[in-house]
Amino acid sequence: AAGQKTSIKDELLKLQKAGLAKQHQAKYKSSDTGDGAGSLMTPEEAKTFLAEQKTASKKGTINPTPPQGLSSGDLDSWYTQQKQREIEARKKREEAEAILRGYRGAWDGSKSGSGGGGGNGSSSALSSSSLESGPEPSDARGVFQAMDSQASSAGVGEGGTTVKNWRKSAAASGEEKKLDFDDEKKNEATWNFINNAPGSKYVPETGRYHIYVSLACPWSHRVLMVRALKGLQNVVSMTVVHPIWQRTAPSSPTDRHCGWVFADPESDTPLTNADGVGGPFPAAYAKNSPDPVLGAFSMRDIYEQAGDADGKYTVPVLYDISTGTIVSKESWQIMRMLNACFNEFAENPSLDLYPPAERNRIDEVADWMYPAFSNGVYRCGFAMTQKAYDESIDSLVNAFDRIESILKTQRYICGPNMTEADVRLFVTLLRFDEIYALYFKCNARSVSSSSVLLDYCRDVYQMDGIKETIDMEQCMAHYYCSHTDSIIPRGVGFVKKLEEPHDRAGVS
């Protein structure tokens, strides 16, 4: 009898979890077709998918051979596209695993229409800045750690980016994934590297590249910070999309996809969100503008024009104006290209946010900080059960306290110098009190209540060019209005606090 009761209880829990998933699926279904295709997997679908993956993985790593006659630049692109296919398979696998653990589908295709990212675009809740749209340092390390030696053999100076042997490097570090996937053309021209190698398709030039970003999206903010710190504002141009998601095909009654659109500063017509509620919002906030490159209506148009129509219309995007292609839509990759590949044009060429001597340390910090903190806030927000939330908030609090402890004794998260890890950290701390504490239920901690972290944020905020990358009005408008009831909280005036003096220079 006891065993029967346990069995019944287990079945009820399964049905409850399936019901939660189905409710979420019904409310936030994929809007490209209007019929829910590509929506959140149910637990049973997740189990089936993972079982199929387990069977496929026994076949070993797929190691296709590149076509003959490719130039070095095209060969680099070919290899990175193979890596992208593996990353996409990992994303879906992680989505299935997250469903079974009780979280919303972080890699749900219907959400990937930013932040991300990085900021995504669709009608799904909490998705604009959900999980990173590409690999974190643990996945990217094999690619970038091999660059220096490859650059010398290819005649490229430091910061050159060739990745012919990424697979060999990744395998040596244990990062190569054993996957079986369909070798179909996917995400072409979105995993490329700018470099000066002979035959490279993308070479560093002034005025050739354009960045599409959202000031609300933390993944976009990373890119903007690196651009500002390196002094590339006059080298790589940018356009800031409107923070409130809109229908990307408003003339189609059946296409309900929602995402990033470009602003119209000349319009006097106020906006609501995509559900017709909230606002009225201005047709353009400060720094929003129309698309100067293609005259596009939305980021979806940019992707489709470039031949990338898989529904993941994210920001940031690094766009090559001369070829009409997307160089990259991965924030970590764009950050590192801006850091290393435009030094001949940069105002601050000596600044290296990912120096070779510090890369292991930077990657080690990112390995624990990303899942528990940067992405931890989203895990709290995505939690569908109390157990999932409790696990996530515990990890977040531990990471918060660890960061605070480290910064008590050193000025920056990896030591005495500002690095890429600080860029990653700052964008989360900046949004913590105003957004994550309330919207994602992360109120167990507060940056304003920590003298250490508040002073650290002041230090970064007051660096040349950083203040100009911040717009809390757009951040709050996006998070609170693109998905839900569109009521923006009054806020705590966090950015105003960053104007005050700090004494971080005295921290050893």
- In the sheet that holds 317-320, the strands lie side by side as 237-240, 209-213, 317-320, 325-328
Of residues 286 and 180, the one with the higher pLDDT is 286
Name the least confident of 90-104, 117-131, 176-190, 193-207.
176-190
Going by the DSSP 8-state scheme, the letter that residue 66 receives in this structure is P
Q: Which of 106-115, 310-319, 480-489 has the highest mean pLDDT?
A: 310-319
Tokens of 1: 């009898």
Name the least confident of 36-50, 152-166, 275-289.
152-166
CB 406: neighbour CB atoms within 10 A?
A: 17
Q: Are 139 and 175 in contact (CB under 8 A)?
A: yes
HSE-CB for 230 with a 13 A CA cutoff: 31
Alpha helices in 67-128 (DSSP H): 72-101
Rounded distance between C-alpha atoms, residue 212 and residue 299, angstroms: 8
HSE-CB for 173 with a 13 A CA cutoff: 18
Q: Is the dihedral of CA 45, 51, 56, 61 positive or negative?
A: positive
Going by the DSSP 8-state scheme, the letter that residue 469 receives in this structure is G
Nearest to 208 by CA among 336, 296, 337, 308: 337
Q: Judging by DSSP bridges, how do beta strands 317-320 and 209-213 pair with one another? A: antiparallel
Alpha helices in 341-385 (DSSP H): 359-369, 376-382
HSE-CB for 449 with a 13 A CA cutoff: 10
Rounded distance between C-alpha atoms, residue 43 and residue 17, angstroms: 7
Rounded distance between C-alpha atoms, residue 436 and residue 445, angstroms: 10
Rounded distance between C-alpha atoms, residue 303 and residue 329, angstroms: 10
Q: Judging by DSSP bridges, how do beta strands 209-213 and 258-259 pair with one another? A: unpaired
pLDDT tens digit sequence for 34-65: 333 345 677 778 888 888 877 766 555 445 56
Residue 113 has pLDDT above 50, yes or no: no
Amino acid present at 325 = T
Residue 220 has what pLDDT? 97
CA-to-CA separations, 407 to 325, 345, 456, in angstroms, rounded: 41, 33, 8
Q: Are 275 and 27 in contact (CB under 8 A)?
A: no
Q: Which of 16-30, 305-319, 411-425, 472-486 has the highest mean pLDDT?
A: 411-425
Going by the DSSP 8-state scheme, the letter that residue 282 receives in this structure is P
Rounded distance between C-alpha atoms, residue 204 and residue 67, angstroms: 26
Of residues 468 and 22, the one with the higher pLDDT is 468
Of residues 327 and 125, the one with the higher pLDDT is 327
Active site residues: 217, 378
Amino acid present at 128 = S
Give the chain's length: 508
Going by the DSSP 8-state scheme, the letter that residue 308 receives in this structure is -
Band of the pLDDT at 373, cuts 50, 70, 90?
A: very high
Amino acid present at 36 = G
Q: Are 30 and 38 in contact (CB under 8 A)?
A: yes
Of residues 216 and 153, the one with the higher pLDDT is 216
Query: For 147-176, what is the mean pLDDT?
Result: 36
Residue 106 has pLDDT above 70, yes or no: no
